[in-house]
Homo-oligomer: A and B are copies of this chain.
Amino acid sequence: MGAMSDVKFGANPLFLREEDLRQGIELLFYAYRDFTAEPDQMLSGLGLGRAHHRVIYFVGRNPGIMVSDLLTILKITKQSLSRVLSVLVTEGYIEQRQGSRDRRQRLLTLTDRGRELEEKLTESQRRRFAKAYRLAGAEAVEGFRRVLVGLIEDPPAEYRQLLTAERRPARGSRF
């Protein structure tokens, strides 16, 4: 927060010039645009949208997740989630079961049908990432992760370590 984190090398390092920052902005825009295009296409055939994909994805990743945690991840209102979620439950992609410790909770899990769809949707995105990672190389992937974590407002704990661990020079450096 304070002066400690104001790490200044020169006055303005090369990679922090206006032009480079804008390049980052644009790359992120283009990448996200194309990253979502394929799944969106598949989903529209099923009468679903990107919001459904996000829910299916994160429920798949966190089986038994409670609604409020899902809301925290997605950062949308419960009314918005509710509509999407009820469609997914009605169409048999997601199951709700009551929490055993706290019976107010409706814990969410993918059904077989849901897992199938999740796999199909995510496969397209995994392929895209695999291609990009392969082209860029392992070292670039590490850098990619570090920057993305820095862009996130409040990175989940499991990501924060990406910033500190495996820092290359890292021996007797300025910290």
Residues on A close to B: CB < 8 A? 7, 13-16, 18, 20-35, 37, 54, 57, 61, 75, 122, 125-126, 128-153, 155-156, 159, 163, 167-168
Contacts and interface: CB of A to CB of B under 8 A. Distances in A.
A156 B30 CA distance: 10
A152 to B, nearest CB: 5
Contacts of A24: 129, 133, 141, 144-145
A7 B135 CA distance: 8
Contact of A27 (B15, B128, B140, B149): B149
Contacts of A34: 151-153
B7 A61 contact: no
Given A32-B32, A147-B136, A27 B159 contact: yes
B125 A14 contact: no
B13 A126 contact: no
B152 A133 contact: no
B153 A136 contact: no
Contacts of A143: 136-137, 139-144, 146-147
A133 B23 contact: no
B141 A147 contact: yes
A29 B129 CA distance: 13
Contact of A150 (B13, B16, B135): B135
B25 A138 contact: no
